[in-house]
Amino acid sequence: MKHVLLVNFGGPRHLNEVPVFLQTLLRDRELIRTWFPTVIHNWIFDRVARKRAPKTQKDYALIGGRSPIYFDTEIIAQHLAQTLGCTVTTFHRYLPSTHGISLNQIANSSSEEILVLPLFPQFCYATTGSIARFFSDHLSVSQLSKLRWIQSYADHPTFISAYQKKISQCINQYNLEENNLILLFSAHGIPQNFVRKGDPYQTECESSFTQIKQAFPNALSRLSYQSKFGPGEWLRPYTDESCKQIKTWAQGRKCVLVVPLSFTSDHIETLFEIEYLYLPQIRQQGLQAYRCDALNLELYWLDGLAEIAQGSFLRPNHALIRRG
């Protein structure tokens, strides 16, 4: 293995980067799918980005003025380079100022094959697929032919065991009793329409959930989906509704641990949305509520990623791009 390409969303590195981050994210036609011509789509969602930016900057200010994702991804890349003894390039989808360097490193790679490792455990056309399409639009045919993707690792033993270990650490940290505990797994939502058109994301989230919860047989485990954006039906149950209605399904349990199932690094959806929006809703109903950190930079997770990189089925770039 000579070259690994580590891909992730990216996140604003400071408050001034929030507007361009939002603009780039909302222009992504894999994430926001409309029938508008590109120029109209971009005009509409550039306005949305400008309108949302001040509120989003305030949210980021509450979590330290930046997203940890960019920095975590760079540290993970350094660890993988040392562990695997190879070149590791990073790509941050929604940080356009970083794209030039990443694309140049891919173009100038002397390796015959570049292993692409996404930091999204479950495959979705709106995340991993979006990056594959970006590469298809910005790399030459010869460069694309080098890319070999690990599509997902939703049920890979190292991913499952890493989250089981992280949850166990949280249970011990907060001195929780499993038979009085609710494990509320919260994955990022997507529109139901994506799933109806063949996106495997929901199935992969359910697989991860089913396997991780097996280590906690005495807890009450539930899967929900967060971060709904815009109109239309998204994957249910919604995390915010699950939190508001928790006493109707808690079966008398008094402690809740919210686990960010589809996130390997903490960012705005965990540090702000779960911490500031969901946990208070649970606590207002008289229950104890805690947030389980994402895997972040745990050494056992970084070593797990190295293992995933060396032993997974690989696919060409075009196989990850949505058709139609």
pLDDT in tens, 121-147: 999 999 999 999 999 999 999 999 999
pLDDT in tens, 142-177: 999 999 999 999 999 999 999 999 999 999 999 999
pTM: 0.96
What local confidence, expressed as pLDDT, does residue 19 receive? 98
What local confidence, expressed as pLDDT, does residue 313 receive? 85
Structure-token pair, residue 17: 């980067």
- Tell me the average pLDDT across 220-242: 96
Residues 6+ apart with CB under 8 A from 250: 182, 220, 256, 287
Domains, the chain = 3-153+301-320 (3.40.50.1400), 157-291 (3.40.50.1400)
pLDDT in tens, 5-40: 999 999 999 999 999 999 999 999 999 999 999 999
104 burial level (CB within 10 Å; 0-12, 13-18, 19+): exposed
Helix (H, G, I), strand (E, B) or coil at 286: coil
Q: How many CB atoms lie within 10 A of CB 152?
A: 24
pLDDT in tens, 72-88: 999 999 999 999 999 99
